[in-house]
């Protein structure tokens, strides 16, 4: 599992980079003499590059091996964050954040594919949980460390920290990560072909709705807490992140024991919807346990969902995980935009959790209807699209 842990460390760098920037925006604005409305686009540029440009870059690298792609993505990630830390003008900063988003968006789905191949099907849940756990740990470990550095040494030091974490992951992967065979990267045409599978499309749409609810509402967590009368925002944010880390790591072994990713997805979506719906009903410190639940089920959802997608398309696993990864960031962006529009239209922050709960409930209903429909009328993959596991072969690791 050491090699999987290295991939998780790379995911830690991505998670820190994804979430620490929002906390640095005021300092960046003061340094570059730019308003918040402008510096806030740094987050948008990163997310859109992750969601929209990274799949195109990944398709262009279809002839590369998994190990080569991982090392190239980590190298670009380190260079992009170093460029962000060194940038002295907003255009250069925007370009650097776009490159960082592309690198992160290429790395994450390929890291999940590599982790699953390194351990084999019987420990796939644990391996995916390690990679996702590294990503979620960025919110609990990386972001506070980065913001602490920024408070004492300036915002650029936080980006140098992200660069250093990425460099450690790059060095470790270059030294210890073997070639991964049986998990070739798909071309753009092969990626598009995944959209012809109703199972993939509905699963990715389910992910989109789940992240509209979970990550979209997280953007407005502070005003939601204020509306409920809760205090101690830093504690609340930490509890949400701690729940996310716990959920990410614990769901993997449970999934390996039960072998029912679809059932896990349904339970987690139902729990997310009920938890978010209960937020406006409680006040003060009573909301804190719900924040732990929200973080735990919100982050844990990704592991069984990725497991399901790999089972649907073993051969096209990299393509479907890339689609799912893009849906995650698009959902978070859409949720944040919809929440902002609702607040601008006069809707109070205390009403946002109910709207987010509705989105999570819609994701749960879509998932259950799809499972029922496909169990009644299964859609087997054509022989030409069956992966190595379906044809009696297995992914292999070449030392």
Confidence tier at 330 by pLDDT (50, 70, 90): confident
* For range 330-347, the mean pLDDT: 83
CATH homologous superfamily of 1-185: MFS general substrate transporter like domains (1.20.1250.20)
Q: What is the pTM of this model?
A: 0.76
* For range 316-328, the mean pLDDT: 77
| pLDDT one-digit tens code per residue, 80-123 | 999 999 999 999 999 999 999 999 989 988 898 888 888 877 78
pLDDT for residue 373: 72
pLDDT for residue 372: 79
| pLDDT one-digit tens code per residue, 204-249 | 999 999 999 998 888 787 788 888 777 666 777 788 888 988 888 8
Q: How far is CA 31 from CA 87, 146, 162, in A?
A: 11, 17, 20
| Stronger pLDDT, 86 or 24, i.e. the higher one | 86
Q: What are phi and psi of 310, to 5 degrees?
A: -65, -35
Residue 168 CA to residue 184 CA, distance in Å, equals 25
The residue to which tokens 């925002």 are assigned: 233
Where in the chain do CATH 1.20.1250.20 domains reside? 1-185, 186-390
* For range 132-136, the mean pLDDT: 83
pLDDT for residue 212: 92
pLDDT at 397 over 50: no
- Second CATH level (architecture) for the domain 186-390: Up-down Bundle (1.20)
Write the DSSP assignment of 233-253 as a string of letters: HHHHHHHHHHHHHHHHHHHHH
Other residues' Cβ atoms within 10 Å of the Cβ of residue 92: 13
pLDDT for residue 341: 83
């Amino acid at each position: 599992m050491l090699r999987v842990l290295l991939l998780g460390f790379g995911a830690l760098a991505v998670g820190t980079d994804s979430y620490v920037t929002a906390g640095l925006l005021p300092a960046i604005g003061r340094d570059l003499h730019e308003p918040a409305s402008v510096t806030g686009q740094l987050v948008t540029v990163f997310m859109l590059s992750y969601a929209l440009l990274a799949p195109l870059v990944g398709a262009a690298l279809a002839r590369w091996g998994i190990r080569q792609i991982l090392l190239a993505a980590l190298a670009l990630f380190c260079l992009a964050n170093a460029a962000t830390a060194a940038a002295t003008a907003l255009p250069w900063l925007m370009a650097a954040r776009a490159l960082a988003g592309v690198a992160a968006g290429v790395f994450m789905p390929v890291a999940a594919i590599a982790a699953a191949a390194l351990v084999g099907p019987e420990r796939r849940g644990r391996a995916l949980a390690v990679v996702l756990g590294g990503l979620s740990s960025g919110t609990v470990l990386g972001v506070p460390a980065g913001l602490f550095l920024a408070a004492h040494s300036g915002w650029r030091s936080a980006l140098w920290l992200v660069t250093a974490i990425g460099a450690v992951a790059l060095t470790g992967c270059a030294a210890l990560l073997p070639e991964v065979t049986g998990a070739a990267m798909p071309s753009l045409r092969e990626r598009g072909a995944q959209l012809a599978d109703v199972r993939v499309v509905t699963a990715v749409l389910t992910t989109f709705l789940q992240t509209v609810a979970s990550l979209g509402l997280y953007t407005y967590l502070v005003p939601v807490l204020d509306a409920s009368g809760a205090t101690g925002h830093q504690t609340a944010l930490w509890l949400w992140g701690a729940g996310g880390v716990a959920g990410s790591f614990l769901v993997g072994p449970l999934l390996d024991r039960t072998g029912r990713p679809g059932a896990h997805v349904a339970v987690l979506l139902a729990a997310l919807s009920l938890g978010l719906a209960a937020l406006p009903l409680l006040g003060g410190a009573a909301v804190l346990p719900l924040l732990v639940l929200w973080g735990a089920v919100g982050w844990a959802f990704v592991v069984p969902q990725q497991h399901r997608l790999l089972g649907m398309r073993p051969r096209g696993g990299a393509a479907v995980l890339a689609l799912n990864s893009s849906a995650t960031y698009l959902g978070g962006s859409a949720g944040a935009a919809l929440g902002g529009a609702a607040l601008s239209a006069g809707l109070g922050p205390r009403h946002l959790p109910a709207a987010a709960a509705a989105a999570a409930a819609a994701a749960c209903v879509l998932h259950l209807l799809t499972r029922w429909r496909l169990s009644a009328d299964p859609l087997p993959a054509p022989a030409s699209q069956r992966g190595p596991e379906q044809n009696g072969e297995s992914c292999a690791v070449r030392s």
